Structure 1
Amino acid sequence: MKILVTGGAGFIGSAVIRHIITNTQDSVINLDKLTYAGNLENLLAVGEDPRYAFEQVDICNRTELDRVFKQYQPDAIMHLAAESHVDRSIDGPAEFIQTNIVGTYTLLEAARTYWNALDVERKSAFRFHHISTDEVYGDLPHPSDQANATEHLFTETTAYQPSSPYSASKASSDHLVRAWLRTYGFPTLITNCSNNYGPYHFPEKLIPLVILNALEGKPLPIYGKGDQIRDWLYVEDHARALYLVATQGKVGETYNIGGHNEKQNLEVVQTICNILDKRVPTKTSYAEQITYVADRPGHDRRYAIDASKIEQELGWKPQETFESGLGKTVQWYLDNQQWCQRVQDGSYQRERLGVAY
């Protein structure tokens, strides 16, 4: 197969491409605008492979999308290109509306035009896989507020209640994808994933930010009391799941992908500190750098995924535990300090975002 991956230079997209090139015979066209979070260094391991091609294209540029479709003739699309940081969406929601909603619309229309011109066999085999987030569902009951809260999980039929400009823009794009299936018969699938972590994660996100701040002796900021709960998914487990859905998933279906690892944010930070205490010991524990700051506006308190559908129907389940995945992640950042310095180009120095509201 020829698979067009949008946002392939980003954190999850690059993991997907590395997985496909390393573990399958398929070829990949990486279409990425190369914003601050896109980095071709993430793909050095596969960049010279003849089955890999790169196109620097904005998904809002219909002319360029049409050219790429005509030139490469893909058999499937895995759409990961998105603005994805909640705090940035609070500061500047316009970019999220443009990329996540207008961009998804533009890509859908370019793909539908291309799909309509395919012969019957290729048309029936074509797939458009839209990658989304569990944040579209809003949040779940928290154990501190409800005794049986842990029995509540996001399923594929949970109603959408997005809380932030980011999650609202992703919810909007999900609705567009479903509408293009219903109205035009365009063959789409959707996945909604929990919080990813792992190598090559841009250091605005919690885990890489804490690792790097800890090593530099900087404060480790915790929003509110740090009792917000997230389900953590190792990015390479997610990449396996996404490829499985793109190639074996049923058209029109939604699949939730989670790591079965509910952790409070404070527990995540403390675990990172414990790992660093053992691997890069100092006179005091890194946990002494933990600092509590004002909570994020509209902060969701708990996310938790029921991933039983993808396990039962497609046979996927995560291979990494939170402990094994986090250990690998911390070690990767210890071994790749130069990468960390290069991706922080001076415009972002791990300062707090999302307070201008």
Structure 2
Amino acid sequence: MILVTGGAGFIGSNFILDWLAHSDEGIVNLDQLTYAGNLNNLAALRGDARHLFVRGDMGEQSLVAALLARHRPRALVHFAAESHVDRSIAAPGQFIATNIGGTFALLEAARAWWQCLPEPERADFRFLHVSTDEVYGSLGADQPAFTERSAYAPNSPYAASKAASDHLVRASFHTYGLPTLTSNCSNNYGPYQFPEKLIPLMIATALAGHALPVYGDGMQVRDWLYVGDHCAALRCILAAGHPGEVYNVGGENDMTNIDVVRTLCDLLDAAAPARASYRRQITHVADRAGHDRRYAVDAGKLRRELGWTPAEHFASGIARTVHWYLAQRAWADEIASGAYRDARWPSGGAA
């Protein structure tokens, strides 16, 4: 069994669904259910004995210690984080508390438990920390993509908090020998993404007939990674990654924000046509403070050492994503109304 933190969020819930589609190895899912945690993401697992949901704070070391002692997971996969840049600019304190303080507490609980394990459990244990390419900062138009050796240069409170958590994970390996793994991924997209992020926000806003706000000139470049490809990469890293190593995970799909929005409009024009093209709703607004111009990661190490490559090109992945959101309007409506906060895990499926 493995222990996952933040498994009711976007990437965490996709990882759990993907994991249980490929394996019968059980998962303990620890999630505090803050605003972005949504148990409806995991509705397909209700009644599935392989998935145990626990509502709680990863920063509560006694809770984590009890879960580790009770379930003896062979790995801990750490997704739990505050992740929205706009929110970090408006209210950075929660990002510091969760991403730095929470990760430190989790590492300490894991280290205390791991140090007491007998062999071979001790040698086999892994702590996989899921992080972001934003820790590397911004690239110029002609600069090569970030590698695992690139210097950290975070430019937002969110990125700075994730950079600090990466350093804590690194220190736990080099100081104490805790067998950690770190992944730094590019922009994810796909099913179950909370609709404050660019792609689901644009889909929902377009369908509602409202203006589609694009920061600045919209020429900011991001590498887009389909969440299913990310999940496959994490399975590879957990299975064969070398303790202490960092692996960049990228989709090899560099796109400007404005081109992403235009692509979404074109797909919606075909699948859910309105009276006029959705492109007419695009509106440029004042740029975000400190907005990074370009991110791009080189995932060559992951390809060479572990054999992973992304299966989805942006054209196929974004088409799948738009189709999913159109088919799951009730899911999005419950987020918009706040009803998703009332979701409960049935008795026997939680602890």
In the alignment, structure 1 segments of 5+ residues that lack a partner are 143-148, 349-357
Q: What's the counterpart of residue 197 of structure 2?
A: 205
Q: What's the counterpart of residue 355 of structure 1?
A: none
Q: What's the counterpart of residue 144 of structure 2?
A: 152
Task: Report the identity percentage.
Answer: 55
Report the alpha carbon displacement of residue 345 of structure 1 after superposing the two structures with TM: 4.1
Q: What's the counterpart of residue 99 of structure 2?
A: 100
TM-score calculated relative to the size of structure 1: 0.94
- Mapping of residues 302-321 of structure 1, within 5 Å: 302-321=294-313
* Amino acid across the alignment from 2:117: L
Q: What's the counterpart of residue 352 of structure 1?
A: none
Q: What's the counterpart of residue 62 of structure 2?
A: 63
Instruction: Name the count of aligned residue pairs.
Output: 340
CA distance in 2, matches of 1:156, 1:264: 23
* Amino acid across the alignment from 1:9: A
Report the alpha carbon displacement of residue 47 of structure 1 after superposing the two structures with TM: 3.2
Say which SS state the counterpart of residue 344 (structure 1) adopts: helix
Kindly indicate whether the alpha-carbon contact (under 8 Å) linking 1:196 and 1:233 is maintained by their aligned counterparts in 2: yes
Q: What's the counterpart of residue 289 of structure 1?
A: 281
Report the alpha carbon displacement of residue 46 of structure 1 after superposing the two structures with TM: 2.4
Q: What's the counterpart of residue 44 of structure 1?
A: 43
Q: CA RMSD in A?
A: 1.2
Q: What's the counterpart of residue 353 of structure 1?
A: none
Determine which of 246, 251, 254 is the counterpart of 2:243: 251
CA distance in 2, matches of 1:346, 1:9: 16
Deviations 1:147-199 (A, max 9, x none): xx1x5101000000000000000000000000010110111010000000000
CA distance in 2, matches of 1:174, 1:132: 7
1:330 aligns with 2:322: yes
Q: What's the counterpart of residue 3 of structure 2?
A: 4
Say which SS state the counterpart of residue 204 (structure 1) adopts: coil
CA distance in 1, matches of 2:265, 2:88: 29
Report the alpha carbon displacement of residue 305 of structure 1 after superposing the two structures with TM: 1.0
Q: What's the counterpart of residue 72 of structure 1?
A: 71
Determine which of 230, 241, 254 is the counterpart of 2:233: 241
* Amino acid across the alignment from 1:140: L
Q: What's the counterpart of residue 88 of structure 1?
A: 87
Report the alpha carbon displacement of residue 346 of structure 1 after superposing the two structures with TM: 4.8
Report the alpha carbon displacement of residue 347 of structure 1 after superposing the two structures with TM: 11
1:110 aligns with 2:109: yes
Q: What's the counterpart of residue 19 of structure 1?
A: 18
- Mapping of residues 150-299 of structure 1, within 5 Å: 152-299=144-291
Q: What's the counterpart of residue 135 of structure 2?
A: 136
* Amino acid across the alignment from 1:100: N
CA distance in 2, matches of 1:230, 1:58: 31
* Amino acid across the alignment from 1:188: T
Report the alpha carbon displacement of residue 326 of structure 1 after superposing the two structures with TM: 0.3
Report the alpha carbon displacement of residue 51 of structure 1 after superposing the two structures with TM: 1.2
Say which SS state the counterpart of residue 45 (structure 2) adopts: coil
TM-score calculated relative to the size of structure 2: 0.95
* Amino acid across the alignment from 1:180: S
Report the alpha carbon displacement of residue 25 of structure 1 after superposing the two structures with TM: 2.5
In the alignment, structure 2 segments of 5+ residues that lack a partner are 341-351
Say which SS state the counterpart of residue 54 (structure 2) adopts: strand
Deviations 1:318-356 (A, max 9, x none): 1011011000111111111111011234599xxxxxxxx
Report the alpha carbon displacement of residue 283 of structure 1 after superposing the two structures with TM: 2.1
* Amino acid across the alignment from 2:16: I
1:32 aligns with 2:24: no
Report the alpha carbon displacement of residue 34 of structure 1 after superposing the two structures with TM: 0.4
CA distance in 1, matches of 2:5, 2:213: 32
Report the alpha carbon displacement of residue 73 of structure 1 after superposing the two structures with TM: 1.1
1:300 aligns with 2:292: yes
Report the alpha carbon displacement of residue 43 of structure 1 after superposing the two structures with TM: 1.0
